[in-house]
Structure 1
Amino acid sequence: MARDYAARCPVSPVRSTWLVVAAVLLTAQDIGAQKVRVDDELEAYPTESVELHCQFVDGGGRTKLTQVSWIWEPVDGQRDNIAVYHPTYGQSFPNLFFKDRVVFLHNSLENPSIRISNLRMADAGRYTCEYATYPSGNEQGTTTLIMLAKPKNTANEVTVQAGTKSVVVAECVAAEGKPAATIKWLTSLGGNHSTSTTNGPDGTVTVRSSYRLVPTPADNGREVTCMVEQRTQERPWARTVRLSVEYPPSVSIEGYDNNWYVGRSDAMLVCVANSNPEPTTVTWTTASGSLPETVVVDGNKLMVRKVNDAVNTTFTCEVKNKHGASRHQITTIVIEALEDPSSAGVVAGAVIGSLLALILVIALITVLLTHSRRQQRRGYPSSGDSIATGSGGSNGGEYGNKARLLFSGSGNNSSKNGTSANNNGPIYTYREGCDATGTLTEKANDFHHHHLHHASTGNPPSSHDILLSGEMGEAERRKFDLDDSMEDEEERYDRFGGVGGGGNMLPPAYHVRRGHGSEEEMDVYLDDDMESQRDGSVISRTAIYV
């Protein structure tokens, strides 16, 4: 009958709209009337603790609370009661999985919050706080607990042998993490990687990534970096590993310098091997099989104590490791020694010493010659006489302006005290008169006769006698020394012309003195003109020797 009524009286569209609005308002009122307040979602880590808050809100105070329960839903369709509070019967924890790990924070129906300690990864799930009330029935609120786990990250190289196939050379693992981690590889190598995941019984995930390439000996020691990113990490985790590629040895011999001469004692060869792992054996042989007696082997070094014809051969070095063996050979040629290398230092020292000695002798001779020349240039000018500047003149007197005393002494007859042993040689005196004519006369050099004569007559000896005798003291000799101006005057002689130059010019030392005195005065001049030599002889400063 109702169906007939509905068919006869259909609902208008406007009325249907109002019905829908009313249903929405009733649903919103039911939602707004949620009286159990809980946290929507919580995150926690194993071994930590978490608090699950629950509070009943009754605006009008007309709802009567009977008891409250916490229900755990690890998976959909499974509900386990883990904690119950009754105002009369108290607290109850029926689930042994949470025994001694769950407690009520407040002993009250209005705030039945709980704490779960020593969390496990299996504790993840939904936790519902459910009230039994009167007259509205059960009221509840649900909190989702998310268990997080920091992954255990590792990165390691995989030791491989060099070859032609692509193999795994490095691995990176992020184990037992939740949520699952992400692994990346950072490297300049031209390889690739693959990743796999494994779920654990407690909800954790293990991520494994493998890096692959075709290994070569050049790849040994090169680096790759594994980087792990995961929600629980503040920053990405990174680890760099060095690849380990093993290969058989490659060998070369170093140290030969093409200068193995006979007698050399520091010759050496070194066997250089490149391998992974390190060589197990290094063997030296020659073309004949055995090594010469002058050769000593020390590991990869072959040392020659003394080079001779026995080492004029071919040396071979063989190196082995667990992946194979390799060898290399070199032919050494022995040459004749150009010089004794041991005496090179002695020869060099002798040459340098000789040069230094020669320089020292030259310097000494130069000093002696300079000193001797200065001694020979010293003169004894007489007092009262002036030095003429020309060869002619009209100064009258008994004797002219030229007087030369030629004396020859014997240097080999000088005694130790400097006196002459034989001063009996002739003395030639040239005198020129006022008329420009002169005569060369010989005067006997009878010093002892004059000396005795002066001694017998009581007259003191003249300077001439003193010079001839060589008995003049040091103080008396200083009186006849010339100053440095005489040496300068002699040096200026180089600027004078020769006799044939038209000037008839003579050096200042040979300019004659014109005097007006008697023969005795001339003798005084001759006495002053004499100069004693080192060999005991006495010569004239102004004499011209022909």
Structure 2
Amino acid sequence: MTSEGLLLRPSASPLMCVVAQKVRVEEELEAYPNESVDLRCQFIDGGGRTKLTQVSWIWEPSDGQRDNIAVYHPIYGQSFPNVAFKDRVVFLHNTLENPSIRISNLKMSDAGRYTCEYATYPSGNEQGTTTLVMLAKPKNSARVVTVQAGTKSVVVAQCEAVDGKPAATIKWQTSLGGNHSTSTTSGPDGTVTVRSEYRLVPTPTDNGRELMCMVEQRTQERPWVYPVTLSVEYPPSVSIEGYDHNWYVGRSDAVLTCLANANPPPTTVTWTAASGLLPDTVVVDGNKLVVRKVDDAVNTTFICEVRNKHGASREQITTVVIEALEEPVSPGVVAGAVIGSLLALLLVVTLIAVLLTRGRSGGSNSGDYGNKARLLFGNKNGTGANNNGPAVYAYRESCEGSGALSEKSNDFHHHHRPPSAGNPPSAHDILLSGDVGEAERRKFHMDDSMEDEEEQYDRFGGGGDILPPAYHMGRGHGEEMDVYLDDDMESQRDGSVISRTAIYV
């Protein structure tokens, strides 16, 4: 941008005429302390008839007088009359047409109006003015103010922007129900310090809550944001945990824990008993009270007292000792007992089912074979000779399962052999019969015909050759018929031995 300087000069006539000359400068510049700034100036002569004799830079502070800080003459050279700018101001080109200067190591007090003024002939003086705005980035900070919980509104946080130019704006972002106040202080160099305080009535629940300080200022590309965590101090509040109402005699390592909510943290934790001294089985470990062995001595009231710099608080709990017949069963033992019971129950059900099945089977057989007879053939006299008729022995089983061996008829005899007197052969005699050959054993075979069993059996004593219907005796080459038994014998409950080839009738 350009600024035109106008010079009014009187003429011979009462009329005034204005001759315009142009001096090109920048209207406004911004700079920061300790930095440098270039003030540009250029004379524009449209017709080329103006003669430049000298150029000067004049500084006018916002609250002071005008003063030359730099002068350039084509014959006499450069001059810097103001001591405050000495060694900080230089000409960039050393020409009257472009007398731009540079100011280094800027100070906030350097702010003001800078005028580039030409001395010309025949026009006189021409000038252009640049306003230098000094900016300062504020030094932002925020901090918490530690307070004690109470009933009055107090400052809990502060935020400030120090030595900024222009002045900063401070805002608070929070969900707390407090309010804030802001104040400003101007510095000697034109800077401004802004302070803001946040207030509320602090409670223990406000401790640790957060609020944000936000600073906005022209020199910052984005707002400066800083979180503040409140610090509210209060005396302890105490609670006791760990008692489960199951302190039985003999229980070991029962623990009570004293919990305290306090800011600052508790300095001391003290355990006592309402009955006096702590029982011998009790051990104190910090905020824990450990009962090594529960007995009647711990059937009392335990008191926990916690203290910090703002005061003390206590809590108590009454423990009741109960009698316990048995140690509490662990969940694993209970689970094992349940599983074992289920397996035992399953085994019992299985045994009952098996017994019922056998009972039904036995009842069915007893109907058909209530009385079973085993017919045994052998030598009646038990001597081993095959000269006597076969003896028939019947083994009968009753419904109760008991049986006895009896002789049904022992008067079997061959038609040309009279029966011999004597006792019927025993099973041992039959087994000792050694004159029965394998070929003779095969002469006996089963007959599927079982009709009229009882009638046929009764005729065995008539001396004929009729055998029970379940048997047919094969005859050999001679007249005699020998009856043999299988040597596969089995023992009976009464001590006797009976052949397994016996037939039930």
2:409 aligned residue:
441
Tell me the distance in 2 between the aligned counterparts of 1:83 and 1:461. Answer: 162
Match of 1:333 among 307, 311, 320: 320
Q: Residues 527 and 115 from structure 1, CA distance in 2 versus in 1: closer, same or farther, beyond 3 angstroms?
A: farther
Letter in 2 for 1:543: Y
1:37 aligned residue:
24
Match of 1:186 among 173, 182, 196: 173
Letter in 1 for 2:393: I
How far is 1:264 from its partner? 0.8
2:51 aligned with 1:82, yes or no?
Answer: no
The one-character-per-residue Cα deviations of 1:336-393 (angstroms, maximum 9, x if unpaired) are 013123799778768866876897899899999999xx9xxxxxxxxxxxxxxx99xx
How far is 1:135 from its partner? 1.6
Tell me the distance in 1 between the aligned counterparts of 2:304 and 2:443. Answer: 98
Q: Residues 59 and 366 from structure 1, CA distance in 2 versus in 1: closer, same or farther, beyond 3 angstroms?
A: same
How far is 1:99 from its partner? 2.8
Q: Map 1:63-78 to 2 at 5 A.
A: 63-78=50-65
Query: What secondary structure sits across from 2:435 in the alignment?
Result: helix
Contact 2:373 2:394 in 1 (8 A): yes
Match of 2:104 among 114, 117, 142: 117
Contact 2:113 2:129 in 1 (8 A): yes
The one-character-per-residue Cα deviations of 1:288-347 (angstroms, maximum 9, x if unpaired) are 331111111111111111100010001111111101111111111100013123799778
2:115 aligned with 1:128, yes or no?
Answer: yes
Query: What secondary structure sits across from 1:47 in the alignment?
Result: coil
Q: Map 1:120-159 to 2 at 5 A.
A: 120-159=107-146
The one-character-per-residue Cα deviations of 1:501-528 (angstroms, maximum 9, x if unpaired) are xxxxxxxxxxxx956944669x999968
Q: Percent identity?
A: 70
Q: Residues 355 and 537 from structure 1, CA distance in 2 versus in 1: closer, same or farther, beyond 3 angstroms?
A: farther
Query: What secondary structure sits across from 1:218 in the alignment?
Result: helix
Q: Residues 68 and 543 from structure 1, CA distance in 2 versus in 1: closer, same or farther, beyond 3 angstroms?
A: same
How far is 1:148 from its partner? 1.0
Tell me the distance in 2 between the aligned counterparts of 1:450 and 1:274. Answer: 102
Query: What secondary structure sits across from 1:341 in the alignment?
Result: coil
Q: Residues 464 and 94 from structure 1, CA distance in 2 versus in 1: closer, same or farther, beyond 3 angstroms?
A: farther
Contact 1:261 1:307 in 2 (8 A): yes
2:247 aligned with 1:283, yes or no?
Answer: no
Q: Residues 35 and 363 from structure 1, CA distance in 2 versus in 1: closer, same or farther, beyond 3 angstroms?
A: same
2:427 aligned with 1:427, yes or no?
Answer: no
Q: Residues 156 and 403 from structure 1, CA distance in 2 versus in 1: closer, same or farther, beyond 3 angstroms?
A: closer
Q: Residues 65 and 367 from structure 1, CA distance in 2 versus in 1: closer, same or farther, beyond 3 angstroms?
A: same
Query: What secondary structure sits across from 1:283 in the alignment?
Result: strand
Letter in 2 for 1:462: R
Contact 2:487 2:499 in 1 (8 A): no
Query: What secondary structure sits across from 1:234 in the alignment?
Result: coil
How far is 1:441 from its partner? 1.8
Q: Residues 541 and 319 from structure 1, CA distance in 2 versus in 1: closer, same or farther, beyond 3 angstroms?
A: farther
TM-score, scaled to structure 1: 0.67
Q: Residues 148 and 543 from structure 1, CA distance in 2 versus in 1: closer, same or farther, beyond 3 angstroms?
A: same
Contact 2:255 2:290 in 1 (8 A): yes
Contact 1:464 1:524 in 2 (8 A): no
Q: Map 1:96-245 to 2 at 5 A.
A: 96-245=83-232
The one-character-per-residue Cα deviations of 1:450-471 (angstroms, maximum 9, x if unpaired) are 654426xx66573799xxxxxx
2:374 aligned with 1:405, yes or no?
Answer: yes
Tell me the distance in 1 between the aligned counterparts of 2:499 and 2:282. Answer: 80
Tell me the distance in 2 between the aligned counterparts of 1:461 and 1:517. Answer: 13
1:487 aligned residue:
none
Tell me the C-alpha RMSD between the 2 structures. 4.1
The one-character-per-residue Cα deviations of 1:373-428 (angstroms, maximum 9, x if unpaired) are x9xxxxxxxxxxxxxxx99xxxxxxxxxx994257xxxxxxxxxxxxxxxxx9833
Contact 1:529 1:541 in 2 (8 A): no
The one-character-per-residue Cα deviations of 1:91-122 (angstroms, maximum 9, x if unpaired) are 22222322332221111100001112222222
Q: Residues 352 and 148 from structure 1, CA distance in 2 versus in 1: closer, same or farther, beyond 3 angstroms?
A: same
Contact 2:440 2:484 in 1 (8 A): no
Query: What secondary structure sits across from 2:252 in the alignment?
Result: coil
Letter in 2 for 1:150: K
Letter in 2 for 1:444: P
Q: Residues 292 and 461 from structure 1, CA distance in 2 versus in 1: closer, same or farther, beyond 3 angstroms?
A: farther
How far is 1:226 from its partner? 1.2
Higher fraction of helix: 1
Contact 1:429 1:441 in 2 (8 A): no
Q: How many residues end up aligned between the 2 structures?
A: 415
Query: What secondary structure sits across from 2:35 in the alignment?
Result: coil
Greater Cα shift, 301-310 or 118-127: 118-127
Match of 1:454 among 419, 423, 435: 435
Letter in 2 for 1:53: R
Tell me the distance in 2 between the aligned counterparts of 1:190 and 1:76. Answer: 44
How far is 1:47 from its partner? 2.4
Q: Residues 462 and 242 from structure 1, CA distance in 2 versus in 1: closer, same or farther, beyond 3 angstroms?
A: same
Q: Residues 178 and 529 from structure 1, CA distance in 2 versus in 1: closer, same or farther, beyond 3 angstroms?
A: farther
Contact 2:375 2:502 in 1 (8 A): no
Tell me the distance in 2 between the aligned counterparts of 1:543 and 1:152. Answer: 123
Unpaired stretches in structure 1, ≥5 consecutive residues = 1-24, 375-389, 392-401, 408-424, 431-438, 466-512
Letter in 1 for 2:131: T
2:504 aligned residue:
543
How far is 1:444 from its partner? 2.7
TM-score, scaled to structure 2: 0.72
Query: What secondary structure sits across from 2:374 in the alignment?
Result: strand
Unpaired stretches in structure 2, ≥5 consecutive residues = 1-14, 362-367, 377-390, 397-406, 411-423, 445-467
Query: What secondary structure sits across from 2:109 in the alignment?
Result: helix
Q: Taking CA–CA contacts closer than 8 Å with sequence separation of 6 or more, which of the two structures ends up with the larger relative contact order? A: 1
Contact 2:241 2:259 in 1 (8 A): yes
Q: Residues 533 and 243 from structure 1, CA distance in 2 versus in 1: closer, same or farther, beyond 3 angstroms?
A: farther
Q: Residues 267 and 364 from structure 1, CA distance in 2 versus in 1: closer, same or farther, beyond 3 angstroms?
A: same
Tell me the distance in 2 between the aligned counterparts of 1:343 and 1:51. Answer: 89
Tell me the distance in 1 between the aligned counterparts of 2:216 and 2:126. Answer: 42
The one-character-per-residue Cα deviations of 1:125-160 (angstroms, maximum 9, x if unpaired) are 111111111122111110001111111111111001
Letter in 2 for 1:313: T
Q: Residues 289 and 87 from structure 1, CA distance in 2 versus in 1: closer, same or farther, beyond 3 angstroms?
A: same
Contact 1:248 1:323 in 2 (8 A): yes
Contact 1:406 1:539 in 2 (8 A): no
